[in-house]
Structure 1
Amino acid sequence: MKRFGSVLGHGIERITASALGPYQTAVVRIGFAATWLLFLLRELPNRHELYGPDSPWSWDMAQQLIAENHAFTALMWSDGRIWFEALYALAVLSSVLLMLGWRTRTMSVLFMIGVLSLQNRSIFMGDGGDNVIHLMATYLVFTRCGQVWSLDARRAARARTAPVGRSADADLEKAAQPVDRVGPVLWWALGLGLSVVTFMGELSGGWLLVFWGLWLSHGLWWAVGRRAPDGEGHRLLDVIVKLAHNAALLVIMVEACLIYATAGWYKIQGSRWQDGTAIYYPLRLDYFSPWPALSDLLASHGLMVMLVTYGTVAVQVAFPFTLFNRRVKNVLLAAMICEHAVIAVILGLPFFSLAMIAADAVFLPTSFLRRVAGWTARARGALFARLSRGRTVPVQRGADEEPARESAEHARVGFPS
C-alpha cells in the first residue's frame, strides 16, 4: 500500500510539474500544420468548387445542415467571395505560422478555426485524413506544442540569455528584460474581432463560451506572468496549463489508438480481409492508381497481396497492446509509417498518409527525436560554415561567430531551423 501511494504521488508530481512530450507535441504540430498547408496550396485552383461559392454542396444546403448539427464554420457568416477568400487566406497563414511555431497559443486557435470553417462547410470533401486533422486541430489548442522546435522557443531562449544591467536593484533588472509588445497587440485585435462577431450574433451557445474562455485565459496568463512571475497565482496557472497539456496529449494518444483499433477490428469482419484479397481491389481501380504499372506489379503477386492484407490487419489490431513494450511498439510504429508512405505513393493518398504519420509521431521515442534535432543542428551549422567559406565579400570581425552561437543555442532548446 505504501509503495502504491509512492507511485501515485510520483505520477501526480510528474504530470503537474512538467508538460510531458515536448518533442512529440512539436512533431504533431509541425506535421498537421504542414499537411493542412500542403492540401490548401494544392487545392488553391479548386478552392471555390471545394469549399467556396461554386461548391456542389451549396451555401443554403450547408446552412441547413449546420442548423441541425450545430457545427462551427465561419464560412456560414457570409456567402460572399471576399469573405471566403479572407478565411482561406487565414487558414493558409495560420498553418504556416503554427508550423514555424510563432505565437503557438494564438495560432493553434486560428488554425482550428481555419480547419473547422472549411471542413464543416463541405463535409463530403476529404479522404479520411481530413477527419484526423479535424480532431487533432482541436486537441492542439490545449497543448503547449511550442516548447521546442519553434520560434517561440527561440524567443524564450534569447530572453533567458539576454543581458541585464549590472545594478543590484531588482526593479532595474526587471525593467531591463525584453518586453513583449506583439502578444498584447495580437490579443487586443482578436478580442475586438471576437466582440464584433458576438455583437452580430454569429456566435452563440457552446462556441461562444469556448472562444471567449480561450481569449480570457490567454489574457490572464499574460497578465499574471507579467506582474507576478514568481507568485502563487502564476504557479497555480502553470500547474493548470500543464495538466491541460498532459490531458490533451493523452487524448491524442488514445485517439490514435482508437483509429487503428477500430479500423483493424472492422477489417477482421470483412470477408475480403479474411480471405486475404482486400488489398487487390483498390489496386485495380483507376481512381487509386496514379502509377498503373506499379499497381499492376503488386496486384500480380498473389502472395504479396495476401501478406500485405493480413499484415495490415495484424498491425492495426496489435498496435494499442504494444504500447506496454517499448521495443515492440517502435518496430510496429516504423512498420505503420512505412505502410502509410506506401499508401501515399501507390494509392495516391498523400494527405491521408501524412495525417496518419503525423498522428503516429506522438509515439516516437524522445531519444530518436533528440537525435534528429542534433543531426539537423549539425547540418545547419555545416551549411552556414560552407556558405561562409564561399563568400567573397569581407565580413566584419565577429560576424562568423553569431551563426555558430545561434546554432548551439538552437541545439540546446531543440530548434532545428
Structure 2
Amino acid sequence: MSSPKERTVPRLDPLGRGLQRVTAQALGPYQSAVVRIGFAATWLLFLLRELPHRDELYGPDSPWGWDMARQLISENDAFTVLMWSDAQLWFEFVYGFAVLTSALLLVGWRTRTMSVLFMIGVLSLQNRSIFMGDGGDNVIHLMAIYLVFTRCGQVWSLDARRRARARADGTEQADGAWRVDRVGPVLWAVLGTALALVTGMDELGWFWLVLFWGLWASQGLWWAAGRYAPRGAQRLLLDVVANLAHNAALLVIMVEACLIYATAGWYKIQGSRWQDGTAVYYPLNLDYFSPWPTLSELLSSHGVMILIITYGTVIVQVAFPFTLLNRRVKNVLLTLMICEHAVIAVVLGLPFFSLAMIAADAVFLPTSFLRRVGSWVARARGALSARLPLSRLSRGSRLSRGPAAPETAPQGGQSAQESAEHARVGFGA
C-alpha cells in the first residue's frame, strides 16, 4: 500500500495542457499591446494629418454626400453615428471623439472601454465615406473590431502602470480586492445612460444594439465580481471567458494577417506584369505614387533592382504563412516585410497603409524582442526624466510625502528594481 508521499499528481495530456493554457492566461500580452499601440497611433496620425480636410473626407463637403451615404447604409446595415444627423456640429463632435479615443487607447487608459469607443470612431468615419482610403483603412477597420475582444492593456499601458503602483503602494487588500475605483463606475454609468438614450433610434440596428449592451453588461459584471468576490468562482469564470475571447481574437488577427499576404501574393502571381518582373516599375512612374521623383527615377532606372523587388515581393508574401512553422525563417521574412512596408511608405507615399500593415505584422514579433525593446525605451525614458529639472522636483515632492526605499543607483540613473518594473509594466504611460 503506497504512502501519501509516493502518490503522484496525474500529468495532463497535450490536449489538456493546451486547454489549460488558453483558459488560464491571456497569451501574447506584448504582441496585443503592440497591435493596440500601432493601430491607435496609425488612426490618430491619420486623423490629425487630415484635420484641415476633414469636411471633404467625411463631413458635409464630401463628394460622397450624406444622402448617398444614408441610402447605401440602409442597404448594407453598416454602423456609423454620423448618419444620426447631418449637422456640422455633430460631425465635429464625432471627429473630435475619434481623435480623443485614439489617443486614450494609445496610452492604454481604461483599455476595455476605449477599445469599444475606438471601434465606434473608426466605423463611424470610415462607413460614412467608404471610398476614402488606400487599403490601410480596411485593415484598421477590421482590427478595430478585433481589439474589442482582446486584453490589450496588460502591459505598456496606463492601466498596467496603475496596477503596478497599487501593488507597490500596498493599496491591494489582503483578499486581493482593489480599493474602490471611482472612475470606472462613473464612466460605466455615463456610457450606459448614453446607450439608453440612443437605443430607440432606428439607425442603430439590432446587432449593434445587442453587442453594445452585452459589452456594457459584461463590464459591470467584471467590476462587481472584482469588488465583491475577487477570489470567488464568479471572478474565475469571468477570467476564463475573457482569456478565451482574447486568445481567439489574437488568433483571428494572426489568421487575418496571413490571409492578407497569401491572397495578395497569389493574385500577383496571376498578373502578367508580376510574372515578367516589371510590375514595380509602373507605380514608380505615376505622379500620384511619386512623392520623391528623384528617388523613384533612381529606382526605376535599374532593371535588375526592379526585377529583384518584384519577384521578392511575391515570394515573401506567398511564403510567409508557411514559415510560421519555423521560428527563425518566420523572423527573417517578417523583417523583410516590415522593411518592405517602410520602403513603400517613403518611396510610394503611403505612410498610413504601411503603418497599418506593420502594426498587423507586429502580432508575430518574438516576445523576447519586444521585452528587450521595452527595456531600452524604459532606460531611455528614465535617463531623460532624470535630466529634466521638473522631474527632479516632482521626485522630491513624492519623497517628502512619505518614506521611500533607498536608491542604490548613482545620480541620474535607475535602480535595478525600477528597471525591472519598467520592463515588466512597459513604457506606454
Distance in 2 (alpha carbons) for counterparts of 1:195 and 1:358? 35
Contact (CA 8 Å) 1:272, 1:278: kept in 2 or not?
A: yes
Aligned to 1:229: 230
Tell me, in whole angstroms, the C-alpha distance in 2 between the residues paired with 1:131 and 1:279. 23
Give me the whole-angstrom Cα distance separating, in 1, the residues matched to 2:310 and 2:162.
Answer: 48
1:62 aligns with 2:74: no
Q: TM-score, normalised by structure 1?
A: 0.93
Give deviations 1:370-391, integer Å, cap 9, x for gaps. 0001111111222223335997
Q: Give 1:414 deviation, angstroms.
A: 2.7
Q: Which residue of 2 aligns with 1:269?
A: 270
| 1:374–1:391 Cα change, 3 Å | closer
Whether contact under 8 Å (1:35, 1:355) holds in the other structure is yes
Deviates more, 1:397-406 or 1:179-188: 397-406
Q: Which position in structure 2 is the counterpart of 1:356?
A: 357
1:96 aligns with 2:103: yes
What are the within-5 Å matches in structure 2 for residues 17-96 of structure 1?
17-96=24-103
Conserved? CA contact 1:373–1:416, under 8 Å: no
8 Å CA contact 2:55, 2:61 repeated in 1:
yes
Partner residue of 2:215? 214
Assess if the C-alpha contact under 8 Å between 1:260 and 1:319 holds in 2: yes
Change over 3 Å in CA distance of 1:47–1:391 after alignment to 2: same
Matched, 1:109 2:128: no
Conserved 8 A contact 2:176-2:230: no
**Aligned runs of 1:96-175 on 2, under 5 Å?**
96-163=103-170
Look up the match of 1:313: 314
The SS at the match of 1:258 is: helix
Aligned length in residues: 409
Find the aligned partners of 1:22 and 1:152 in 2 and give their Cα distance.
Answer: 13
Aligned counterpart, 1:202: 203
The answer for unaligned runs of 5 or more in structure 2 is: 1-10, 408-412
- Bigger Cα displacement from structure 2, 217-226 vs 94-103: 217-226
Change (3 A) 1:334 1:200: same
Structure 1: any 5+ residue segments left out of the alignment?
none
Aligned counterparts of 2:393 and 2:162: Cα–Cα separation in 1: 32
- Counterparts in 2 of 1:164 and 1:386: CA distance versus 1, 3 Å: closer
**For 1:72-125, what per-residue CA distance to the aligned partner results, in whole angstroms no more than 9, with x for missing partners?**
011001100111000000100000000000000000000000000000000000
User: How far did residue 5 of structure 1 move?
Assistant: 7.2
Q: 1:415 offset after TM fit, Å? A: 3.2
Q: Give the C-alpha shift of residue 303 in structure 1.
A: 0.3
Distance in 1, Cα, partners of 2:243 & 2:13 = 21
Instruction: Provide the rounded CA distance (Å) in 1 between the counterparts of 2:423 and 2:280.
Output: 43
* Higher mean C-alpha deviation, range 259-268 or range 207-216: 207-216
Distance 1:385-1:263 versus aligned 2 partners, 3 A rule: same
Seen in structure 2, the aligned counterparts of structure 1 residues 407 and 398 have a Cα distance that, compared at 3 Å, is farther
Return the letter of the residue paired with 1:369.
Answer: L
Distance 2:57 2:285 in 1: 27
User: CA 1:303/1:186 → structure 2, altered by over 3 Å: closer, same or farther?
Assistant: same
Distance 1:114 1:217 in 2: 21
Per the TM alignment, residue 277 of structure 1 is displaced from its structure 2 partner at its CA by 0.1
Distance 2:393 2:210 in 1: 59
Identity %: 75
Q: Cα RMSD between the aligned structures?
A: 2.5
Deviating more after overlay: 89-98 vs 205-214: 205-214
2:356 corresponds to which letter in structure 1? A
Of 385, 409, 417, the match for 2:421: 409
Kindly indicate whether residue 380 of structure 2 is the aligned counterpart of residue 373 of structure 1.
Answer: no
Deviations 1:361-409 (A, max 9, x none): 0000000000001111111222223335997999569479799576553
Q: Does 1:247 align with 2:248?
A: yes
Q: Deviations over 1:31-64 (max 9, x none)?
A: 0000000000000010001000111100000001
Letter in 2 for 1:354: L
Report the CA distance shift for 1:265/1:398 in structure 2 as closer, same or farther (over 3 A).
same
Deviations 1:204-230 (A, max 9, x none): 321111111111111111111111010
**Residue type at the aligned position of 2:335:** A
Task: Give the residue type in structure 2 aligned to 1:411.
Answer: A
- Note the alpha carbon deviations across 1:241-299, whole angstroms, 9 max, x for none: 00000000000000000000000000000000000000000000000000000000000
Q: Equivalent residue for 2:332?
A: 331
Which amino acid counterpart does residue 90 of structure 1 have in structure 2?
Answer: F
Q: In structure 2, do the counterparts of structure 1 residues 185 and 398 end up closer, same or farther at CA, with 3 Å as the change threshold?
A: closer
Question: Against the structure 1 CA distance between its residues 110 and 396, is the aligned structure 2 distance closer, same or farther, given a 3 Å change threshold?
Answer: closer
Q: Residue 162 of structure 1: CA displacement?
A: 2.6
Q: Does the 8 Å contact 2:108/2:428 carry over to 1?
A: no
Deviation readout 1:296-325 (Å, 9 max, x if unpaired): 000000000000000000000000000000
The separation in 2 between residues aligned to 1:334 and 1:238, in whole angstroms, is: 34
